[in-house]
Amino acid sequence: MEIIVFILICYGFSNQFKFSAGPFSIYDKIKVRAFKINVGLYNLLDCLMCLPTWVGIILSIINMTLIETPFTPMNILCDGDYNIFGYLMFPILDGFIASGTTYMLATIQQWFEYRGEDNEEDDNEKELIID
């Protein structure tokens, strides 16, 4: 159950950050500032594979340091018993899990949204969008 919560937190935050302005337009302000600093930084915040990686890493670090109950996938697997490998690798692996599952959920969502629209595009364009 905790892993599902972790995945939904990563997906929800990443999806909201990418597609909405946020409360008081804070997400847009962060994106504009990132664009002014560096276009690459903006691209990291606007990508549904990149952003969840960082969200997963941050959640994993928070879970390892501040929250006793494990809720990220790698922290659940090791049950809070960390060594130097765990402190270095578990946040990165949690980031990979967050990125993959978020991208998968976004692709499924896009597929359902596309299937619901009445588009008069040819079949080649439909395959490109789904793939």
- pLDDT of 126 > 70? The answer is no
Q: How far apart, in Å, do the first and last CA atoms of the chain sit?
A: 30
Buried b (16+ CB within 10 A) or exposed e, 88-104: eebbebbbbbbbebbbe
Per residue in 9-62, pLDDT (tens digit) is: 999 999 999 888 888 989 999 999 999 999 988 888 888 899 999 999 999 999
Quick one: angle between helices 84-116 and 50-65, nearest 10? 140
Token duo for residue 110: 């896009």
Per residue in 70-112, pLDDT (tens digit) is: 888 888 888 767 777 778 888 999 999 999 999 999 999 889 9
What global pTM score does this model have?
A: 0.77
Number of domains into which the chain is organized = 1
Provide the domain limits for residue 78: 2-130
